[in-house]
Amino acid sequence: MRVFVEAATAGSLSAAGRHLGMSPAMATKHVNALEARLGVKLFHRSTRRLNLTEAGANYLEACQRILPEIAAAEAEAASQRVKATGLLRMNVPLSFGVRYVAPLLNEFSHRHPEVTVELGLNDAMLDLIEGNWDMAIRVGHLADSNLQARRLGDSCLIVCAAPSYLDRRGVPRTVQELTQHNCLSYIMSSTQNRQHWAFGSKGEIKVAVHGDLLANNGDALVAAAVAGQGIIYQPHFIVCEALRRGELVALELDKPAAALGGIHVLYPQDRRPPAKVRVMVDYLAEAFSSSPP
């Protein structure tokens, strides 16, 4: 279409080619291909000059209207590589997102006012590509994938319970003593399930547990533990405030907690990810380096 417009304006395929940086033969091929696809002649050709046919004149008017819109669309798309703008869809675990990501978004918005953040709070491991997410934060060991990852920090697991529960049921000193306690389990973790909690640096020590509450959210388990219902095995970032207030007490057992893995931000592999993704990744890395979760 650009070659056709240039040729119609200049009255010459050679002139159109020179203006667009291609040979006259290539410019001719473009117009021939366009005419073949449309099934009409766009030019009456002579040795001296091109003259538009009626179909060519109508098509020229349409092209002159359409091409600037295409150029604007291309410019807008290209600008998102260099300028942070548009909708940024970010999927984050619920408890982590509420505690550590949401409070950061006000400052991010001030820095990048043309970016709108859609914060999806969900503990499930959603597929970024299938769900059309721009990026995600994951806590724990990363599965092999084609996603780009940047580590934001570390976290550890802590076994804890409320003083009222420990006064009532006693304080376990070994991981095997947990079998005699009400263990409230997070069912979306690789370190615990309905029947076992894993200990040891590689999670190699499996301890049979039972309890009267299973949940897919860490905050629900913290609330139940603070109320004295049982023992929980949760990341430090979820229980740290309750520990600081004395609502929960960390238990010192004879085996180390399983390694939780790091806190990572993930995004689809791209040599040049959109600016909105780059600035958010850099912003989160900066924020967590100065104030680790």
Split the chain (293 residues) into runs of 10 and give each run's mean pLDDT.
Answer: 89 87 90 91 83 91 87 68 85 92 95 94 83 90 79 90 96 96 90 88 91 93 97 94 96 92 86 85 89 68
Hey, which bits of 237-278 come out as E strands?
A: 249-250, 262-268
Q: Which of 4, 209, 222 is nearest to 94 (CA)?
A: 222
Straight-line distance from the first to the last Cα atom of the chain, in angstroms, rounded to the nearest whole number:
55
Q: Which of 115, 57, 65, 63 is nearest to 90 (CA)?
A: 115
Q: Give a yes or no: residue 256 inside a domain.
A: no
Q: Give a yes or no: residue 237 inside a domain.
A: yes
User: Residue 168 is part of a domain; what is its CATH number?
Assistant: 3.40.190.10
Scan for tokens 């959109």, then name that residue.
Answer: 274
Same domain assignment for residues 150 and 162: no
Q: Give a yes or no: residue 255 inside a domain.
A: no
SS3 of 117-132: the string is EEEEECCCCCCCCCCC
The parent domain of residue 76 ranges over 2-82
Same domain assignment for residues 151 and 162: no
Return the pLDDT at 284.
94
Same domain assignment for residues 150 and 266: yes
How far is C-alpha 47 from the chain's CA centre? Answer: 59
Domain end call among 54, 82, 110: 82
The CA distance from 280 to 108, in Å, is 8
Q: Give a yes or no: residue 36 inside a domain.
A: yes
Same domain assignment for residues 151 and 265: yes
Same domain assignment for residues 230 and 110: no
Q: How many domains does the chain have?
A: 3
Same domain assignment for residues 162 and 221: yes
Same domain assignment for residues 187 and 63: no
User: Residue 78 is part of a domain; what is its CATH number?
Assistant: 1.10.10.10
Domain end call among 46, 61, 82: 82
Return the pLDDT at 136.
93
Task: Tell me the HSE value of 219 on the side-chain side, using a 13 A CA sphere.
Answer: 9
Hey, which bits of the chain come out as E strands?
A: 43-45, 50-52, 86-92, 115-121, 135-139, 147-154, 157-161, 183-186, 196-199, 205-208, 214-215, 231-235, 249-250, 262-268
Same domain assignment for residues 207 and 265: no
Return the pLDDT at 242.
96
Same domain assignment for residues 165 and 246: yes
Element (H, E) at 201: none
Return the pLDDT at 181.
96
Same domain assignment for residues 48 and 99: no
Domain end call among 82, 114, 139: 82
